[in-house]
């Protein structure tokens, strides 16, 4: 097994290679404005570091969000195109699940919430029973409108840190953004145990912004 994992749903441009046993190479860069430029060079670097080539990969793992759309699509279209070109499966995973898994690896136990920055004063969030068990569908909301019970839980992710006035138990020492290494380990575990994956399609959660133009402007002076 050789899995190439990538995720562009958070400010991180993150890539990892997993050989079925462990992560053998990884690259994590945080630059919320340059996913498109940074992703392919990162893939190239990770493969070179591991002394492998892309055609040895047996599966692609991709975080399908939720996340800001422009960046999110970079990772998903890259994963889908790799999958098609190499004729290997593309395994989609909820981005928040990767962050939850990383939080578990860092020692967090018990119930918690993962929240990332959705911009426009909102967060993407989901609630977890533990690092592997998500209890709610991912959602997008204004932090102030979250139930008190959610906001007071241990919280992980840049979305929680950004609204620390609402989230009262922010675990700032835990990962803020996605790590493809955690995503790859989660995927490898699921492949071993027959767990389920998502299709390689974005979790947008919001309808596209589309203003219907008002009727044409009247130009005749009154």
Query: Which residues here bind another protein, judged by CB under 8 A?
Result: 32-41, 43-44, 54-55, 68-71, 73-74, 76-86, 119, 201-202, 204, 208-213, 216, 218-220
- Shortest Cβ 103–another protein spacing (Å): 25
- Shortest Cβ 109–another protein spacing (Å): 35
Which of 77, 106 has the CB closer to another protein?
A: 77
- Shortest Cβ 160–another protein spacing (Å): 20
Which of 102, 184 has the CB closer to another protein?
A: 184
- Shortest Cβ 71–another protein spacing (Å): 6
- Shortest Cβ 81–another protein spacing (Å): 4
Which of 26, 73 has the CB closer to another protein?
A: 73
Three-state secondary structure readout of the chain = CCEEEEECCCCEEEEEEECCCCEEEEEEEECCCCHHHHHHHHHHHHHHHHCCCHHHCCEEEEECCCCCHHHHHHHHHHHHHHHHHHCCCEEEECHHHHHHHHHHHCCCCCCEEEEEEEECCEEEEEEEEECCEECCCCEEECHHHCCHHHHCCEEECHHHHHCCCCCCEECCCCCCCCCHHHHHHHHHHHHHHCCCCECCCCCCCCCCCCCCCCCCCCCCCC
Which of 21, 55 has the CB closer to another protein?
A: 55
Which of 16, 76 has the CB closer to another protein?
A: 76
């Amino acid at each position: 097994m050789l899995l190439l994992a990538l995720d562009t749903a958070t400010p991180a441009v993150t890539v990892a290679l997993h050989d079925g046993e462990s992560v053998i190479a990884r690259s994590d860069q945080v630059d919320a404005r340059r996913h498109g430029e940074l992703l392919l060079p990162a893939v190239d670097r990770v493969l070179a570091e591991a002394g492998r080539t892309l055609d040895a990969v047996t599966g692609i793992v991709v975080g399908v969000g939720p996340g800001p759309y422009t960046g999110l699509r970079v990772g998903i279209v890259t994963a889908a195109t790799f999958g098609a070109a190499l004729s290997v499966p593309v395994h989609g995973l909820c981005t928040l699940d990767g962050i939850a898994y990383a939080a578990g690896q860092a020692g967090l136990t018990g119930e918690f919430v993962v929240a990332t920055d959705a911009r426009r004063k909102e967060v993407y969030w989901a609630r977890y029973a533990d690092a592997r068990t998500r209890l709610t569908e991912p959602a997008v909301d204004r932090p102030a409108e979250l139930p008190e019970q959610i906001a007071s839980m241990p919280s992980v992710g840049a979305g929680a840190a950004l609204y620390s006035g609402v989230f009262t138990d922010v675990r700032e020492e835990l990962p803020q953004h996605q790590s493809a290494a955690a995503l790859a380990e989660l995927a490898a575990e699921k492949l071993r145990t027959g767990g389920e994956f998502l299709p390689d399609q974005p979790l947008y959660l919001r309808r596209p912004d589309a203003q219907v133009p008002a009727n044409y402007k009247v130009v005749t002076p009154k």
